[in-house]
């Protein structure tokens, strides 16, 4: 942890975070959902103004979705991973599009792939998918293989290619 | 009757000459770009292939526009003298202004048909093409007007005969150069191919052309090139027998192709500003020289 | 196959020497098209040239995987092309889904939706393979065997039914397409 | 009334890749623009969760087509960070050489590619042909022209042989000798200046607000390069400069790419000289165990400077033999989505392809 | 019937028509048309040189004569007016005041005929005012803005007229006669250049104002743009030609070359003429540039009238045989073309109730005949063979090049190519392209409306192929005025039109065009038949996309996929920020308007009839001052 980063972590103490050092220059901060925007604002004011990525992880076993904001400072090259966990069955969160306008598109994407609603961001039209008729595809309980089988038929080979490949590899005898 | 045969001969020469020259132009561009390029007869194949396809028509005005474009340009090509009074099909009607305005029939037909296709990209292309005309035609017309004033005739074959003493290009070099710059615009060569810029407006007027419409407009383009370069050759490069005429024609074409292959294209108002800057000024200077009698 | 008239034979030989391809990069195979087009491999010497719009083009290159969103555009584009038209499928993705066989958004076989004349195997196909495919297609056209466009016309209902099965609807009419 | 809706793409000759911009124009001025991505969406992030840690190496180069090696490098470095793997030093140097070669290849294509939207068709012909020389190096190195799958977890797949080293030296000399030709053809052309200079200006504040990285940001006068700010591999051990410009216009963006080519050549030459000799270029794992390899629990974000800007992988592991979640930060995500919506209105139709070309809007990495 | 009887009975009939129209306006309109047909046959039967007295005023005989010029101008005017009268039989049902329209249009006809027949300046003035007043009273029948338009029209017209009147009295005071040919004779021998030039310019100013020449052109756009739609055809096709007639009288009937031979300016053209030519050239530039950027299609053609007025003035102003004939022939061409164009627009407005280009589109699918009429009219207006418009432009160019007037030639070329641009805008925006959904039930106009348009188009085409019937009276006119009387331009025996620098054969050119078209058609039929793309598919079936190239995307709203706003945006941008004359004149107009408001507030109740009162008062004052 570099000096400036540890100073910042001290400033953030008031938000009662769970700090985890991944790397010398990469720190993960987990806070409760209501404090995320305040943490982000503090970090942005202290040089971590570049939103590298905003993404979501589906922890299906905990029935939670983890939102991760990755902030980067062009000044000292440090990274902060600000993370929070929200309820998976009724995912709602607030938007950060006022802080980073490009977050609008990240939120739109997360809405599309994970089904998270962002209050304050009214632009929740589909971005990548068109006429999607299933649950959000990046959730863990969505099986793309089944979906693909149902929608997109496979080629039916006259020959059993898999068997031939196995013969070719010498795994079975033809 | 002889005139009719000569007119027909004009069309035949134009068709074969310009189509092969287009292929040669592609070859030259390819060499500049360090590749081999298509064979010289590639454009014949392209043309006949296009004609053999089963096209789409966007309504009767689309068909009519294409016919008008081809018909008007063919009519113009039939009047063009080819380098001498002998190869002038209609000595009484080869007036420069008549040719220029007859030529406009083709342009109007093409513009109308293409906009009639209902595609906004075509409309944008046509609007650019018409605006472009405002750019390149003006210096050209001024230069030709001063030529006409100098030789006291607007009849092309008489202009050719008047140049026995020396090519007009040498008599008024300024005018010749300006006319060539305008010719580049007329031919739609870079940097003046704004109307068909594919990366910007999806090939502009040609957006909706399929099959034989593409082919017919290609033929129209062939005759248009014939008319434009022939006018330049006749008015500025003097007369001579038919062979000389062909040689001059080829030289002008190759020069235009070579210049165009290393230049990017202008934006539309940059092109107007370009033509209304130095070329137009020089055209007026040329006119002033002609008025004062300062010709070489 | 029906006998071709002499005119059709002549036309086919012209068509085989002048192939205008649609400038549509549907997938990552399009990355090997620039080298094929430019100085090193120079496909213009075979009379192949890129064209801007489907109306002008003869050949549609499906350069790799197709997701459903693109497939709608490809079908629309294919139907806008003038007959005779040909399709080349690039890479393994168009043959059986390739590396994306279990993806929720990409299709697994192209000829289920539109007829394909030539497939190129590999991921991604090298420029030499692309040129080889073009030569093979030229041969097919010359012999009159590249009849995908006829098959599409004859089996239109079958293709349409497949398209609707995978896509729901072919024409999208939503807030982005008013 | 009065506005016309035009579709710039997906099937449009000025469009790089498969991407669509819906423009509402009045006259030739864009009034509103709306990006419509997703034509290349393959669900990479889902597919990677279904494959083993090692087999993902075969999948990820396909995320970004013009410069695939960054994906492998980023992913490998992310996994190494979580698993705390030591990578042999020679492998790190080779990775650097590969990444810089890929950068040169991409820049050659982009510098030549500017000829496409403005009609200078000789430039892309030259650029692509010269890029092929670098693809030849890759072919010798990995056996493939485009998708190399060369950088793997724990090192690189094969050693760099002296023959290939020699080839790289020669190619670098060749490309250096070609640069004056490009300068003359492209950057000294007055018409090109009039097309690009002073067009599509992005100020520093706008660029930072939008989150643009790479030449788009550096053209506004700041030296923000991940290689300098947050050095990875051995970028802190080589001597190179980050060229910047102050105009922030389309011309300086292209010109910066051109000026980065000599710097990359410099880095490659230094790397070839400083590289330790030896055979150890990866952490050997046997065939079977590679697929069943378990990466400990954890998450990491790794970013590198691609030719288009900051490119990042966010890797999450739950301690199994497959990644739990991988998220990709496409370098052109901000300018390709937000930038088009915000900064294209007010420009002209003919500027749209120039925006797409100079800001390197790369559809596959946006869609994934 | 004597000329005077004819005119007076026409004036009386017009009042009768009003009462008939009160009962049934259609009967009035049909009667009007029949009277018009009679007038045409009457005009063609008249012999050159017929004179008749109208009365005496202040000791001066008011005389009417029938000259080549009267014949030519009357015939052109009547062609236009009669077509509009036929057109109005159906069109009037969209108007509020058909009876008044019928009355005023006949009254205006009488007035214009009187102008063309007048042998002296005062007769000319009287009939002039009749024509102007009656036309001015038709203008506000349009929409609300038309009231203002009428006022501006009146003010501008009056400013020209009063200058004319002053010039007439100046001439009367100096030469003691009002007869035009007498004045011309006196002026040749008058040594005082200043007074001659003053008379010349004062007389010309009426023409300048009327034909919308710079700097008095602003009314033209407003009046033509806001007048009732079909009447704009008369305004632009016929009334503007009154101005051209007066200009021709001042420049040619007063032999300006001889009168001002002592002040040659350039290439043998006197400074006074050159001044007019400069005004004409400025009008071409302003008219062309402004027309290119109009969104209102009627305004667009109104500005084109400004530009074409400039052509006529340039042609006549050179006093070169070619130029003179070209200018006078251009009167015919522009009259026909503008009339057809305005009638076509009236048809469009009749069906769609809008004249904004940006709200229209694709009407070719619904109104093909109107489209064809418009198409041929613009071919003529842009001066493209085989329509007649080319011949006059060709002649004007010949004159300009022969005189070495390169700057004027440049402007003429500019106007000619610019006319390409602006006539194409309505073609592309209104008739071609995509049909907006709200116009899907629009129908073609009835035959009564398209027959007059097509008739005029056919006349223009025939004259374009065989121009000699029109060229002969013009040559006669030229002989009358003594401009190079020995030179023959139209050589009908060899089918040639001869210029100073070569000749051309209109019949041959037309035949070549036909041959080219036939070859093209043969080529067209040789190759596979096309499949039809239905551009109207989104109208017929809900959910059908527009099946043309859209980059692969889907669009269902035709009006969103139709490029008709700011068509030449790239070019318009070049001069949108320049200080334009238009703005200066608008300021001037605003100043006059404010002044008018002020005067208005003091003296007038808001009614056009007040104008009549003030005109008569002014005449009285002017006469009282003189005597």
Cα distances from E117 to residues B246, E47, E120, E157, E172, in angstroms, run: 59, 13, 9, 21, 20
Rounded CA separation E394/E376 (Å)? 18
Rounded CA separation C165/C142 (Å)? 35
Q: How do the domains of chain B map onto residue ranges?
A: 2-292
Q: Is the dihedral of CA D76, D77, D82, D85 positive or negative?
A: positive
Give the pLDDT score at B16: 92
Nearest chain D residue to B266, by CA = D191
Cβ atoms of B109 and B69 within 8 Å: the answer is yes
Instruction: Say how many domains are in chain D.
Output: 1
Mutate one of E530, E552, E555 to test the C interface: name it (highest C CB count within 10 A): E552
Q: What is the mean pLDDT of residues C92-119?
A: 85
pLDDT category at E611 given cuts 50, 70, 90 is: low
What is the distance between the terminal CA atoms of chain B, rounded to a whole angstrom? 40
Rounded CA separation D181/D194 (Å)? 20
Angle, helices E68-91 vs E25-45, to 10°: value is 160
Give the pLDDT score at E155: 76
Helix (H) or strand (E) holding E491, with range, is strand E490-491
Q: What is the mean pLDDT of residues E255-274?
A: 80
Residue E532, SS3 per DSSP: strand
Answer whether residue A78 is part of any domain. yes
| Chain CA centroid to CA E459, Å | 17
Distance from CA of E330 to the nearest CA of B (A): 16
Residues of B in contact with E385 (CB under 8 A): 98, 101-102, 105
Q: What is the Cα gyration radius of chain C?
A: 16
Cβ atoms of B115 and E427 within 8 Å: the answer is yes
Residue D309, SS3 per DSSP: strand
Asked if C54 lies within 8 A of D10 by C-beta distance, the reply is: no
> Max CA-CA distance within chain C?
51
Residue D229, SS3 per DSSP: helix
Q: Return the number of other C-beta atoms located less than 10 Å from residue E525's C-beta.
A: 8
The CA-CA-CA angle for residues E355, E359, E365, to 5°, reads 90
Mutate one of D4, D7, D16, D42 to test the C interface: name it (highest C CB count within 10 A): D42
- Any alpha helices (H) in E92-179, and if so which ranges? 98-117, 121-138, 145-175
User: CA C68, C71, C73, C75: dihedral to nearest 10 degrees?
Assistant: -140
Residue E503: HSE in the Cβ half-sphere, 13 Å Cα cutoff = 16
Give the pLDDT score at B222: 92
pLDDT over threshold 60, residue D1 = no
Answer whether residue E508 is part of any domain. no
Write the pLDDT tens digit of every residue in B74-83.
888 888 888 8
Nearest to D112 by CA among D185, D22, D25: D185
Give the pLDDT score at D286: 67
Answer whether residue A96 is part of any domain. yes
The CA-CA-CA angle for residues E244, E250, E251, to 5°, reads 85
Q: Return the number of other C-beta atoms located less than 10 Å from residue E38's C-beta.
A: 11
Tell me which DSSP letter residue D18 carries.
S
Q: Give the pTM.
A: 0.89
Is the minimum CB–CB distance between D350 and chain E shorter than 8 Å?
no
Is the minimum CB–CB distance between E613 and chain B shorter than 8 Å?
no
Residues E583, E439 share a domain: no
Nearest to D313 by CA among D79, D40, D98: D79
Residue E498, SS3 per DSSP: strand
- What ipTM does the predicted assembly reach? 0.87
Residues of C in contact with E552 (CB under 8 A): 24, 54, 73-74, 76-77
Write the pLDDT tens digit of every residue in A41-76.
888 888 888 888 888 888 888 888 888 898 888 888
Instruction: Say how many domains are in chain A.
Output: 1
Backbone angles phi, psi at C125, to 5 degrees: -65, 140
Range of the domain at A61: 3-133
Contact yes or no, A with B (3+ CB pairs under 8 Å):
no
Cβ atoms of E571 and B268 within 8 Å: the answer is yes
Mutate one of D26, D119, D254 to test the B interface: name it (highest B CB count within 10 A): D119
Q: What percent of chain B has pLDDT over 90?
A: 8
Q: Which of D34, D41, D128 sits opposite C38 (nearest CB)?
A: D128
pLDDT over threshold 60, residue A86 = yes
Range of the domain at E595: 579-626
Specify whether the backbone of E466 is left (phi greater than 0), alpha (psi in -120 to 50) or beta.
Answer: beta
Nearest chain A residue to D232, by CA = A77
Please tell me which chains touch E, using 3 or more CB pairs under 8 Å as the contact test. Answer: B, C, D
Cβ atoms of B220 and B96 within 8 Å: the answer is no
Give the pLDDT score at A174: 58
Answer whether residue E305 is part of any domain. yes
Cα distances from E235 to residues D172, E145, E316, in angstroms, run: 76, 17, 21
Is the minimum CB–CB distance between E567 and chain D shorter than 8 Å?
yes
Answer whether residue D69 is part of any domain. yes
Write the pLDDT tens digit of every residue in D128-163.
888 888 888 888 888 888 888 888 888 888 888 888
Write the pLDDT tens digit of every residue in E514-570.
888 898 899 888 888 888 888 888 888 877 888 888 888 888 888 888 888 888 888
Strand C59-62, strand C86-90: pairing:
parallel
Q: What is the mean pLDDT of residues D272-288?
A: 79
Strand C86-90, strand C118-120: pairing:
parallel
Rounded CA separation B259/A117 (Å)? 58
Give the pLDDT score at E458: 92
Give the pLDDT score at A90: 85
Angle, helices E389-403 vs E368-381, to 10°: value is 20
Range of the domain at D223: 43-329
Write the pLDDT tens digit of every residue in E274-319.
888 888 888 888 888 888 888 888 888 888 888 888 888 888 888 8
Rounded CA separation A148/A132 (Å)? 13
Residues of C in contact with A147 (CB under 8 A): 104
Q: Which two tokens stand for residue A91?
A: 């995912």
pLDDT category at A130 given cuts 50, 70, 90 is: confident
Rounded CA separation B123/E567 (Å)? 8
Beta bridge partners of A53: A70
Cβ atoms of B156 and B234 within 8 Å: the answer is yes
Write the pLDDT tens digit of every residue in B202-249.
888 888 888 888 889 899 999 999 999 998 988 888 777 888 888 989
Pick the range with the lowest mean pLDDT from B107-111, D322-326, E579-583.
E579-583
pLDDT over threshold 80, residue B132 = yes
Give the pLDDT score at D287: 65
- Provide the CATH number for the domain around residue A8: 3.30.460.80
Answer whether residue A147 is part of any domain. no
Give the pLDDT score at A93: 86
Rounded CA separation B159/B164 (Å)? 9
Give the pLDDT score at A139: 86
Residues of E in contact with C177 (CB under 8 A): 545, 553-556
Rounded CA separation E454/E459 (Å)? 9
Strand order in the sheet with C86-90: C48-51, C19-22, C59-62, C86-90, C118-120
Rounded CA separation E197/E259 (Å)? 9
Cβ atoms of C76 and E554 within 8 Å: the answer is yes
Give the residue carrying structure tokens 């390709």.
Answer: D336
Write the pLDDT tens digit of every residue in E140-153.
776 777 777 777 77
Answer whether residue E79 is part of any domain. yes
Cβ atoms of E283 and E416 within 8 Å: the answer is no
Cβ atoms of D47 and D353 within 8 Å: the answer is no
Residue A130, SS3 per DSSP: coil
Q: Could you tell me which residues come within 8 angstroms of residue E571 by beta carbon, excluding any fewer than 6 positions away?
A: B131, B134, B268, B269, B272, E292, E421
Helix (H) or strand (E) holding E490, with range, is strand E490-491
pLDDT category at E619 given cuts 50, 70, 90 is: confident
Instruction: Say how many domains are in chain E.
Output: 2
Domain boundary among E482, E513, E538: E482
Beta bridge partners of E61: E56
Asked if C109 lies within 8 A of A125 by C-beta distance, the reply is: no
Specify whether the backbone of E622 is left (phi greater than 0), alpha (psi in -120 to 50) or beta.
Answer: alpha
Q: Burial letters for C37-62: b for 16+ Cβ neighbours within 10 Å, e otherwise?
A: bbbbbbbbbbbbbbbbbbbbbbbbbb
Q: What is the mean pLDDT of residues E592-598?
A: 73
Pick the range with the lowest mean pLDDT from E83-97, E205-219, E423-437.
E205-219
Give the pLDDT score at E142: 67
Average pLDDT, chain D: 86
Rounded CA separation B124/B132 (Å)? 12
Q: Which of D1, D5, D8 sits opposite E561 (nearest CB)?
A: D5
Nearest to E371 by CA among E350, E341, E351, E349: E341
* Whether CATH 3.40.50.300 fits C6-167: no
Beta strands of chain D (E only): which ranges?
Answer: 4-8, 20-26, 29-36, 151-152, 155-156, 298-306, 309-317, 325-329
Asked if E560 lies within 8 A of D8 by C-beta distance, the reply is: no
Rounded CA separation D70/D307 (Å)? 9
Answer whether residue A170 is part of any domain. no
Q: Over E571-583, what HEC string results?
A: HHHHHCCCCCHHH
Beta strands of E202-291 (E only): which ranges?
Answer: 264-266, 269-270
């Amino acid at each position: 942890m570099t000096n400036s980063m540890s100073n910042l972590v001290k400033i953030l103490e008031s938000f009662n975070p769970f700090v985890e050092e991944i790397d010398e220059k990469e720190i993960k901060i987990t806070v409760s959902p209501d404090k995320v925007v305040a943490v982000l604002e503090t970090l942005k004011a202290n040089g971590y103004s570049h939103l590298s990525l905003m993404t979501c992880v589906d922890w299906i076993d905990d029935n939670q979705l983890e939102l991760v904001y990755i902030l980067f400072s062009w000044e000292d090259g440090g990274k902060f991973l600000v993370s929070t966990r929200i309820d998976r069955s009724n995912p709602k969160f607030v938007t950060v599009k006022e802080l980073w306008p490009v977050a609008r598109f990240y939120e739109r994407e997360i809405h599309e792939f994970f089904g998270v609603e962002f209050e304050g961001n009214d632009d929740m039209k589909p971005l990548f998918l068109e006429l999607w008729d299933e649950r959000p595809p990046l959730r863990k309980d969505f099986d793309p293989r089944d979906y693909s089988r149902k929608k997109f038929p496979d080629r039916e080979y006259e020959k059993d290619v898999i068997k031939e490949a196995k013969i070719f590899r010498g795994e079975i005898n033809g | 009757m002889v005139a009719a045969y000569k007119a027909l001969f004009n069309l035949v020469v134009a068709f074969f000459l310009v189509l092969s020259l287009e292929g040669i132009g592609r070859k030259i561009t390819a060499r500049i770009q360090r590749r081999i390029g298509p064979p010289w007869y590639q454009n014949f194949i392209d043309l006949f292939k296009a004609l053999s396809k089963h096209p789409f028509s966007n309504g009767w005005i689309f068909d009519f526009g294409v016919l008008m474009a081809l018909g008007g340009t063919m009519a113009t090509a039939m009047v063009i003298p080819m380098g001498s009074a002998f190869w002038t099909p209609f000595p009484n009607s080869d007036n420069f202004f008549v040719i220029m305005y007859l030529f406009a029939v083709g342009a109007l037909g093409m513009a109308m048909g293409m906009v009639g296709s209902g595609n906004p990209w075509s409309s944008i292309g046509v609007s650019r093409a018409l605006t472009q005309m405002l750019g390149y035609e003006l210096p050209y017309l001024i230069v030709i007007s001063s030529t006409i004033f100098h030789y006291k005739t607007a009849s092309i074959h008489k202009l050719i005969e008047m140049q026995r003493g020396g090519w007009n290009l040498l008599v008024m070099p300024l005018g010749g150069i300006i006319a060539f710059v305008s010719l580049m615009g007329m031919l739609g060569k870079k940097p003046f191919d704004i109307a068909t810029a594919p990366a910007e407006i999806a090939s502009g007027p040609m957006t909706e052309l399929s099959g034989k419409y593409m082919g017919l407009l290609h033929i129209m383009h062939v005759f248009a090139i014939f008319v434009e370069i022939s006018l330049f050759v006749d008015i500025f490069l003097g007369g001579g027998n038919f062979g000389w005429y062909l040689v001059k024609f080829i030289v002008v074409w190759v020069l235009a192709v070579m210049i165009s292959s290393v230049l990017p294209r202008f934006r539309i108002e940059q092109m107007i500003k370009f033509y209304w800057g130095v070329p137009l000024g020089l055209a007026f200077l040329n006119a002033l020289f002609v008025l004062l009698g300062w010709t070489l | 196959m029906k006998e071709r008239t002499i005119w059709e034979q002549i036309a086919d030989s012209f068509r085989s020497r002048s192939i205008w391809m649609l400038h549509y990069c549907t997938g990552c195979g399009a990355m090997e098209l620039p080298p094929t087009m430019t100085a090193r491999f120079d496909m213009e010497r075979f009379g192949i040239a890129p064209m801007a719009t489907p109306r002008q083009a003869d050949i549609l290159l499906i350069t790799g995987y197709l997701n459903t969103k693109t497939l709608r555009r490809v079908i629309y584009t294919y139907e806008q092309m003038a007959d005779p038209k040909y399709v080349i499928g690039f890479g393994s993705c168009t043959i059986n889904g390739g590396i994306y066989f279990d993806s929720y958004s990409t299709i697994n076989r192209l000829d289920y939706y539109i007829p394909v004349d030539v497939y190129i195997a590999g991921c991604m196909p090298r420029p030499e393979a692309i040129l080889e495919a073009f030569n093979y297609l030229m041969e097919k056209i010359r012999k009159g065997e590249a009849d995908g466009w006829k098959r599409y016309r004859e089996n239109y209902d079958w293709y349409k039914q497949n398209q609707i099965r995978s896509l729901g609807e072919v024409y999208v009419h939503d807030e982005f397409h008013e | 009334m009065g506005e016309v809706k035009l579709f710039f793409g997906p099937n449009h000759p000025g469009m790089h890749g498969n991407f669509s911009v819906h423009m509402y124009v009045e006259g030739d001025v864009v009034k509103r623009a709306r990006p419509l991505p997703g034509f290349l969406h393959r669900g990479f992030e889902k597919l990677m969760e279904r494959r083993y840690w090692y087999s993902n190496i075969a999948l990820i180069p396909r995320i970004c087509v013009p410069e695939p090696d960054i994906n492998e490098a980023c992913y490998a470095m992310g996994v190494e960070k979580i698993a705390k793997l030591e990578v042999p030093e020679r492998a790190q140097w080779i990775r650097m050489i590969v990444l810089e070669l890929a950068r040169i290849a991409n820049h050659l294509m982009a510098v030549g590619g500017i000829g496409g939207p403005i009609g200078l068709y000789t430039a892309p012909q030259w650029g692509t042909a010269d890029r092929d020389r670098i693809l030849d190096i890759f072919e010798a190195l990995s056996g493939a022209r485009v998708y190399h799958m060369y950088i793997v977890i724990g090192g690189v797949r094969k050693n760099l042989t002296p023959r290939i080293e020699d080839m790289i030296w020669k190619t670098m000399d060749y490309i250096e000798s070609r640069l004056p030709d490009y300068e003359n053809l492209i950057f000294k052309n007055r018409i090109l200046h009039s097309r690009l200079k002073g067009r599509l200006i992005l100020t520093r504040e706008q660029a930072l607000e939008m989150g643009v990285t790479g030449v788009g940001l550096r053209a506004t006068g700041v030296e923000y390069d991940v290689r300098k700010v947050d050095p990875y591999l051995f970028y802190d051990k080589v001597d190179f400069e980050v060229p910047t410009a102050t105009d922030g216009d389309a011309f300086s963006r292209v010109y910066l790419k051109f000026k980065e080519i000599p710097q990359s050549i410099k880095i490659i030459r230094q790397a070839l000289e400083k590289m330790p000799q030896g055979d150890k270029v990866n952490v050997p794992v046997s065939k079977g165990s590679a697929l069943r390899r378990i990466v400990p629990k954890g998450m990491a974000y790794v970013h590198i400077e691609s030719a288009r800007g900051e490119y990042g992988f966010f890797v999450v592991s739950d301690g199994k033999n497959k990644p739990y979640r991988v998220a990709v930060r496409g370098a052109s995500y901000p300018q390709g989505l937000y930038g088009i919506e915000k900064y294209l209105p007010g420009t002209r139709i003919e500027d749209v392809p120039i925006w797409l070309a100079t800001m390197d809007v790369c559809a596959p990495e946006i869609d994934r | 019937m004597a000329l005077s009887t004819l005119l007076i009975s026409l004036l009386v009939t017009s009042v009768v028509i009003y009462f008939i129209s009160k009962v049934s306006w259609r009967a009035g309109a049909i009667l009007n048309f029949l009277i018009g047909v009679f007038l045409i046959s009457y005009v063609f039967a008249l012999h050159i040189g017929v004179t008749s007295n109208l009365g005496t005023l202040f000791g001066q005989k008011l005389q009417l004569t029938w000259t080549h010029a009267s014949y030519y101008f009357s015939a052109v005017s009547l062609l236009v007016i009669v077509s509009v009268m036929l057109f109005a039989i159906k069109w009037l049902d969209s108007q509020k005041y058909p009876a008044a329209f019928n009355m005023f249009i006949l009254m205006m006809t009488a007035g214009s005929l009187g102008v063309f027949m007048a042998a002296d300046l005062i007769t000319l003035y009287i009939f002039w005012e009749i024509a102007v007043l009656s036309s001015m009273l038709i203008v506000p029948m349009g929409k609300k803005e038309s009231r203002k338009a009428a006022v501006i029209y009146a003010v501008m017209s009056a400013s020209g007229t009063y200058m004319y009147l002053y010039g007439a009295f100046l001439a009367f005071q100096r030469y003691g006669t009002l007869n035009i040919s007498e004045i011309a004779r006196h002026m040749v021998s008058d040594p005082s250049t200043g007074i001659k030039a003053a008379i010349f310019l004062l007389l010309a100013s009426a023409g300048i104002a009327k034909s919308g020449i710079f700097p008095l052109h602003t009314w033209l756009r407003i009046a033509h743009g806001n007048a009732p739609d079909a009447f704009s055809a008369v305004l632009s096709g016929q009334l503007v030609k009154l101005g051209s007639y007066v200009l021709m009288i001042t420049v040619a009937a007063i032999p300006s070359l001889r009168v001002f031979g002592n002040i040659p300016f350039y290439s043998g053209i006197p400074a006074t003429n050159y001044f007019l030519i400069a005004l004409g050239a400025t009008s071409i530039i302003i008219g062309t540039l402004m027309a290119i950027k109009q969104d209102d299609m009627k305004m667009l053609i109104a500005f084109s009238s400004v530009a074409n007025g400039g052509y006529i003035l340039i042609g006549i102003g050179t006093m070169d045989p070619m130029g003179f004939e070209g200018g006078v022939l251009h009167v015919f061409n522009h009259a026909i073309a503008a009339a057809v164009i305005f009638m076509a627009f009236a048809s469009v407005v009749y069906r769609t109730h809008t004249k904004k280009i940006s709200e229209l589109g694709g009407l070719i699918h619904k109104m093909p005949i109107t489209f064809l009429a418009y198409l041929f009219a613009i071919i003529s207006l842009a001066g493209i063979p085989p329509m007649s418009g080319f011949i006059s432009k060709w002649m004007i160019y010949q004159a300009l090049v022969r005189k070495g007037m390169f700057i004027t030639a440049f402007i003429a070329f500019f106007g000619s190519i610019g006319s390409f641009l602006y006539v194409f805008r309505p073609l592309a925006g209104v008739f071609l392209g995509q049909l907006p959904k709200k116009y899907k039930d629009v129908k073609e106009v009835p035959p009564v409306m398209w027959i007059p348009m097509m008739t005029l188009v056919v006349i223009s085409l025939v004259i374009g192929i065989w121009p000699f019937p029109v060229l002969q009276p013009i040559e006669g006119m030229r002989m009358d005025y003594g401009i190079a009387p020995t030179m023959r331009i139209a050589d009908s025996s060899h089918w040639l039109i001869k210029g100073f620098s070569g000749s051309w054969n209109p019949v041959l050119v037309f035949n070549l065009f036909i041959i080219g078209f036939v070859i093209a058609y043969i080529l067209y039929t040789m190759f596979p038949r096309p499949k039809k793309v239905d551009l109207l598919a989104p109208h017929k079936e809900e959910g059908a996309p527009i099946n043309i190239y859209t980059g692969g995307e889907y669009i269902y709203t035709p009006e969103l996929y139709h490029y008709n706003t700011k068509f030449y945006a790239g070019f318009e941008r070049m001069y949108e920020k320049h200080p334009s004359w238009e703005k200066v004149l608008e300021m001037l107009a605003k100043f006059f308007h404010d002044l008018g408001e002020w005067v208005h507030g003091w003296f007038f109740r808001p009614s056009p009839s007040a104008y009549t009162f003030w005109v008569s008062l002014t005449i009285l004052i002017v006469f009282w001052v003189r005597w």
